[in-house]
Chains A and B, each alone.
Chain A
């Protein structure tokens, strides 16, 4: 609604005393192609005129999407050329309101600035995810980059951070500093490790800290990992801290309590926690049915735990279950 209000503000009625008001829409922030000429107040609207009326455009209907405006707005067209997904932008009306007030000349510098860190192919998805970066002041953005440089992030690391976390530059240096400090203190990391973590999973740094604390609780208290093991997990698979706690615990429960996989093995292959539980479950039950569920590397017929999580079913059957894929499919229809 805010968008409509804004648009109605910029709709100016060309003053005629006619009963049918002619309206002129100076769309968005672009300048009209020529100055509005007031049509000399003729008594009848139907009188023919020799004046140029091409600047008199029809009244724009109210709309809920940007597609209605895109053909008339060079600004929006330029965003499309940059591969920005406008259909995703329009889902957030407050964002659209701010974006439409911009002029392409204003944001040129922003785009060139971002392009220093982000590949051209990824620029579109970057701006789709965080269009509001175009409203930030350029000085602020530079300060935030300088902050990273002052913390001895290499140029390569900085571009990786900016590219993988579109929201990083929205955070003020104080907030980023606080958050880096939080991770350093909470997990007892050294300077290099903090830099490594921020580069490996930049989204974790700006993630909801409440979520991170609860996940730490799940991993430490409910799953029972030790302090140094947690640190290893964090540096190895930081995405664990961004997972849903319930799903994480459910997967761990299945792997640890049902499959009897000890913590030490799990620490070597934490990526199995990313695998959807139904996938692991069905492969595990199949191996068990075949009598091949043997996950101890010291005994014969060893099946690595990663085999349950990775690869296609065909590979799994060939390599570890040693059977035909159709047998596996028949088995799946008995679950």
Chain B
């Protein structure tokens, strides 16, 4: 924990990336708002700078005038408002996380907003845990939708899920080459492909690099997915497709982002810890991670970095 002498010193140190744990059913805007509010509250509680003085020249103009140093009332926090307000703190997210999704969320604070831009353009892989349930399909593909279909799911086994999931992954591997922006039958593509996985060239289409079933207890199951450019609705459809291919129906019951690049759940800051000291602490940790992995921010090749 860091102890700050005064608010100005604390404010100056608030530049960088933080990694928070977004709870489900809380919009990302609200996360941003809460963090700004908490930071302002904590900064305003720290020792303030002394009140400014004001030079006053008084007296009749046709006689010698006196110069006085008086406290400036306009500088009193009671008059000009709290020292730190929402507008003083810039905050932006690196990649969006839907309303019902939870998990790792990278936020840039003040100068860190530039870092979030870099992270967004470098397209880090994100790993998700997706909980689903067989037997019911909904119109939104998520638990809150209207039920449109019910189906038996007794025949689903772990082996069958694994087979379908492996097939899905293979299908996406082909999409990965297509989205790399290279000609499919060129030497460059071959060399690139021989080195490993390739990042997509743009941010339009989702690419899935790995997908596997990590837990199955009929009718509930959990998938682990590594992907780039994905969004919450896309992950829900993934569950729906899985249900279709298994000759049953399925809907998604939860999406949790467990990793983004090198930032995993260990680093993520829980909602109760969104306070100045913890945020500054977390910022240091994130900075160290970024320093260790320089290529996270500015990848030199199209190869997929974690």
Contact = CB atoms under 8 A, between A and B. Distances in A.
Asked if A and B bind, the verdict is yes
A279 to B, nearest CB: 9
A75 to B, nearest CB: 12
Contacts of B73: 67, 70-71, 76-77, 80
A66 interface: yes
Given A313-B272, A332-B270, A334-B256, A71 B54 contact: yes
Interface string A166-206: 00000000000000000000000000000000000000000
B80 interface: yes
Interface stretch (A12-20, A83-91, A153-161, A241-249): A83-91
Nearest to B272: A313
Contacts of B74: 67-68, 70-71
A53 interface: yes
Contacts of A208: none
Interface string A306-335: 000000010000000000000001001111
A54 B81 contact: no
B58 A54 contact: yes
A50 interface: yes
- What bracket does the count of chain A residues touching chain B fall in? 20 to 34
B78 A87 contact: yes
Nearest to A72: B73
B62 A87 contact: no
Interface string A71-114: 10000110010011111000000000000000000000000000
A333 B264 CA distance: 11
B61 A53 contact: yes
Nearest to B70: A71
A86 B78 contact: yes
A332 B266 CA distance: 12
A130 interface: no
A41 interface: no
B173 to A, nearest CB: 30
Given A70-B73, A80-B78, A52 B21 contact: no
B260 interface: no
Interface residues of B, number: 27
Contact of A71 (B21, B72, B78): B72
Contacts of A77: 73
A38 interface: no
A329 B24 CA distance: 16
Contacts of A332: 21, 270-271
B59 interface: yes
A290 B164 CA distance: 34
Interface in B38-83: 54, 58-63, 72-74, 76-82
Contacts of A84: 78
Contacts of A83: 78
Most chain A Cβ neighbours within 10 Å, of B63, B77, B81? B81
B133 interface: no
Given A67-B74, A71-B54, A77-B73, A333 B60 contact: no
6 contacts: A87-B77, A278-B271, A332-B21, A332-B270, A332-B271, A335-B256
Given A76-B79, A80-B73, A87-B77, 15 more contacts: A51-B61, A52-B60, A67-B73, A67-B79, A70-B74, A80-B76, A84-B78, A85-B78, A86-B78, A87-B80, A87-B81, A278-B23, A329-B270, A333-B270, A335-B24
